[in-house]
């Protein structure tokens, strides 16, 4: 089974067949909604990260319960969609990006399953899965979508957007993208040994680009509609290759 975290654009009832909602009891509380079903005959678990009504803010997403639940129901790999801002002129809105690195600027989130008597010093030198990234990149090229890869995403706490000073700081650090959800998702998947790759759906230029409109939630949602259609096509294209690789 392949886990898909996101929800936006992937809750089309014609996309997921034999769908049923599943609830897993976890030691970490209630997880985000999961629909288990098939896409073109391939078993998937589709998780709506923020809830069906977007009730979870980025800091309130039950990340530990989410990744644990996907592991429990048998997910062998996870691809995760996430809206993001661009920190580079050449990474334009509506681009799909597949990062290789993240910078963590969150402050409130539990990033580990470690307990006092079971400390895990997990290597995070390469936080994302190279095989998943290559498969996603190849499928994106085949579909003719604009993309970038080998990028670095900085994850901020949210739900507010960055100040111009913060945005410029992240640019000076060498970050290419900015979002609110990749950490701790990637960290937790790594601890549970689940291959994980985020698909960043670029919606705006963050606040550094003074010649552009100041980013708003409404702006992000409007561009996400277009990106969601691309995401559906990408998922349909890449799932057979992911199943073959990770079965």
- Please tell me which residue in 90, 110, 131, 204 is annotated as part of the active site: 204
206 is catalytic: yes
Q: Are 36 and 22 in contact (CB under 8 A)?
A: yes
Tally Cβ neighbours within 10 Å of residue 166.
Answer: 17
110 is catalytic: no
Q: Which DSSP string do the residues of 3-49 spell out, in sequence order?
A: EEE--TTT--TTTSEEEEEE----TT-PPPPEEEEEETTEEEEEE-T
Torsional class of 193: left (φ above 0), alpha (ψ -120 to 50), beta (otherwise): left
**Class of residue 171 by CB neighbours under 10 A (exposed 0-12, middle 13-18, buried 19+):** middle
- Please tell me which residue in 110, 131, 206, 226 is annotated as part of the active site: 206
Residues designated as active site: 204, 206
């Amino acid at each position: 089974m392949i886990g898909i975290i996101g929800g936006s654009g992937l809750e089309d009832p014609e996309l997921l067949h034999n769908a049923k909602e599943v609830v897993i009891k976890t030691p970490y509380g209630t997880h985000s909604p999961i629909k288990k079903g098939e896409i073109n005959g391939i078993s998937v678990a589709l998780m709506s990260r923020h809830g069906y009504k977007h009730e979870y803010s980025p800091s309130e997403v039950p990340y530990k319960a989410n990744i644990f639940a996907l592991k429990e129901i048998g997910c062998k790999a996870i691809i995760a969609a996430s809206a993001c801002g661009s920190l580079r002129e050449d990474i334009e809105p509506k681009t799909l990006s597949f990062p290789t690195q993240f910078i963590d600027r969150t402050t409130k989130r539990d990033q580990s399953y470690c307990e006092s008597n079971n400390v895990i010093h997990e290597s995070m030198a390469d936080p994302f899965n190279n095989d998943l990234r290559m498969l996603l990149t190849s499928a994106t090229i085949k579909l003719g979508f604009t993309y970038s890869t080998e990028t670095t995403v900085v994850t901020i706490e949210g739900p507010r957007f960055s100040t111009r000073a913060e945005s410029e700081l992240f640019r000076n650090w060498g970050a290419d993208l900015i979002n609110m959800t990749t950490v701790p998702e990637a960290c937790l998947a790594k601890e549970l040994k689940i291959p994980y790759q985020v698909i960043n759906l670029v919606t705006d230029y963050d606040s550094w680009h003074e010649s552009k409109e100041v980013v708003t939630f409404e702006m992000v949602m409007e561009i996400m509609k277009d990106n969601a259609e691309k995401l559906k096509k990408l998922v349909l294209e890449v799932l057979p290759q992911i199943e073959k690789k990770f079965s």
